[in-house]
Chains A and B, each alone.
Chain A
Amino acid sequence: MSTIFGIPTQALFGQLLIGLINGSFYAMLSLGLSVIFGLLNIINFAHGAQYMMGAFAAYFLLQWAGLGYWWALLVAPLVVGVIGVVLERTMLKRLYALDHLYGLLLTFGLALVIQGLFRNQFGSSGLPYQIPPALTGGRNLGFMVLPNYRAWVVVFSLATCFLTWYVIERTKLGAYLRAATENPSLVQAFGVNVPRMITLTYGFGVALAALAGVLAAPIYQVNPLMGADLIIVVFAVVVIGGMGSILGSIVTGFALGIVEGLTKVFYPEASNTVIFVIMALVLLVRPAGLFGREK
């Protein structure tokens, strides 16, 4: 068996793949957080819970409506996104005039409620969700076996991230959004319905989290607490990338996933903490994050 730096290549590539998968989720979740943060100026603490709701939505669709993975990929984000819109309309909206920290506290409370309700109903052990038949199996790349589903997750996540980036940075709709981020009252004066834009943006960010949840369902099991600890890592990713930076969250999401995977190979003890250590170092050098701007 061949080795690199004394590490078997198979282990190395295996961890790299896991890192890339984790990175896909970090990227999609931090992207949603960034989109929301950019316009609403709140950190959506319920993001992990909404990611979990996406996975559960996929599970329910299969159990109750007989709708499979492909339908879930479409319907689950829509449903959870609508729930997000309702939350924004009924609760978050009331807090915009206050300190942004209240938004953080509210979404933290919502996360506790949502996760608690699901835990009450489904316990803490995971529910299985099958990989769709079209994506089972794997292909042999010579140096390792690549499971099809995992390849699909990476490709799909990259595509979603790119599409989101393109819409925000290169289209007219995105231009409105960026303008509203800079100066909402001016944009409103030009006749753009900013409150509606805020609502839809929150819904979109939540839908992204739910989409990530559907993607995650076959890999990790569907579990009420699947997003609870993940979201803290994603917060660190967002800080490293620079809060509110679209490109920053995508790039750092994937990069940190890979770094984490490599750490697992070379120094496993630090694999849980490496992202937080990087965050501390980045803060020392660039307090606004790698891609962020000082406000």
Chain B
Amino acid sequence: MDTASEAASTTATESLSAPGRHQTMAFILMVGVLAVTPFFIYPLFLMKALCFALFACAFNLLIGYVGLLSFGHAAFLGSAGYTSAYAAKAWGWPPELAILAGTAIAAALGLAIGALAIRSKGIYFANITLALAQMVYFFCVQAKFTGGEDGIQSVPRGVFLGLFDLRNIMTMYFVVLAIFIAGFLLLYRAIHSPFGQVLKAIRENEPRAVSLGYQPEHYKLIVFVLSAALSGLAGGTKALVFQLASLTDVHWTMSGEVVLMTLLGGLGTVFGPVVGALVVITLENYLAQLGAWVTIVQGVIFVICVLAFRRGVVGEVARVIKKPL
């Protein structure tokens, strides 16, 4: 049986048909809200939420559509963050190139880790990705260029494409929004393409997919690299937003956090990770002064989601309106 199968059972059948109008509506609604909110809510907070939303969407591609739970996605977010920050600060690269460099490093790392991990499934896969990501963490602790405990600080934001000065926080926000939407649409396209259908086939019944002539390993590796690359895109962008790359983003607790966001929002739903990321980041924002309460609340949400709320927020909404979201 598959991880996301229960959560995605509502979407499994419908998503075989073309994406419906309500998904387009939901997308327009999301973009509309995101375009207006920075005028009311602190943009830095929203940018953080957007970076994590992209991260969670990338993670969701693996768990939701291939049924692979990676517990090591922090490695991609963090390594890309370090790469982008270093490229922007030490080499003076423009932001777009710095972010691309981070994305490329995350993709390469994804290729290496994925090649090792996709030969296993289920718990083994989770365990192996976790351990390999921890290796990346220790590398970042010891490597000279990461600055150890200090991280890479005061990273210059620069001028995006030579046109948009990112020192203006609103400009920065809309660039981040554009990056998020680009990543989101890419994932959306991947999920609803023939390629995405094969992924679902592999998730639902791998031997059958093999018998039809598909090579699951190839597909899984491609998806893993894609997921890693987009996590890297999120990480690189985040490094420029906060002008900081630190060990927090590589630590395994970050891998747990992205699992939480996706689980809370709804595994295998298109919009779930965005909602989940928003909720978790908001919670963290309010609980930040209370020290260890953040972890306690996160843990409690985990327990509740697993025991009683496995479809997640968006999954439940989709069940009520009987449409995949």
Contact A101 B123 (CB under 8 A): yes
Q: Measured between alpha carbons, how far is A112 from B305 in the docked complex, in Å?
A: 14
Q: Which residue of A lies closest to B119 (CB)?
A: A287
Contact A232 B295 (CB under 8 A): no
Instruction: With A98-B1, A283-B116 as known contacts, state yes or no: A112 contacts B295, CB within 8 Å.
Output: yes
Contact B295 A238 (CB under 8 A): no
Q: How large is the interface on B (under 10, 10 to 19, 20 to 34, 35 or more residues)?
A: 35 or more
Q: Is B135 an interface residue (CB 8 A)?
A: yes
Instruction: With A101-B122, A105-B263, A243-B123 as known contacts, state yes or no: A91 contacts B307, CB within 8 Å.
Output: yes
Q: Is A115 an interface residue (CB 8 A)?
A: yes
Binds A, one of B82-90, B137-145, B167-175, B214-222: B137-145
Measured between beta carbons, the chain B residues less than 8 angstroms from A235 are 127, 130-131
- Tell me if B's interface is mostly helix, strand, loop or mixed: helix
Contact B131 A236 (CB under 8 A): yes
Contact A287 B307 (CB under 8 A): no
Chain A, residues 101-112, CB within 8 Å of chain B (1/0): the string is 110111011111
Contact A94 B299 (CB under 8 A): no
Number of A interface residues at 8 Å Cβ cutoff, please give it.
44
Q: Measured between alpha carbons, how far is A21 from B305 in the docked complex, in Å?
A: 38
Q: Which residue of A lies closest to B68 (CB)?
A: A101
Which of B1, B116, B134, B307 sits near A232, CB closer than 8 Å?
B134
Contact B134 A99 (CB under 8 A): no
Measured between beta carbons, the chain A residues less than 8 angstroms from B256 are 108, 112
Min Cβ gap B140→A in Å is: 11
Measured between beta carbons, the chain A residues less than 8 angstroms from B141 are 272
Q: Which residue of A lies closest to B290 (CB)?
A: A120
Which of B123, B131, B305 sits near A100, CB closer than 8 Å?
B123
Chain B, residues 247-284, CB within 8 Å of chain A (1/0): the string is 00000100010010001000000000000000000000
Q: Measured between alpha carbons, how far is A233 from B259 in the docked complex, in Å?
A: 20
Known: A37-B123, A112-B299, A114-B299. 8 other contacts (CB 8 A): A95-B306, A98-B1, A116-B295, A232-B252, A235-B127, A239-B128, A276-B138, A283-B116
- Contact surface of A with B, Cβ cutoff 8 Å: 37, 41-43, 91, 94-95, 98-102, 104-106, 108-117, 119-120, 232-233, 235-236, 238-239, 243, 269, 272-273, 276-277, 279-280, 283-284, 287
- Contact surface of B with A, Cβ cutoff 8 Å: 1-3, 5-6, 69, 116, 119-120, 122-124, 126-128, 130-132, 134-135, 138-139, 141-142, 252, 256, 259, 263, 291-296, 298-303, 305-307, 310
10 tightest A-B contacts by CB? A109-B302, A112-B299, A113-B299, A116-B296, A276-B135, A116-B295, A236-B131, A119-B292, A272-B138, A109-B303
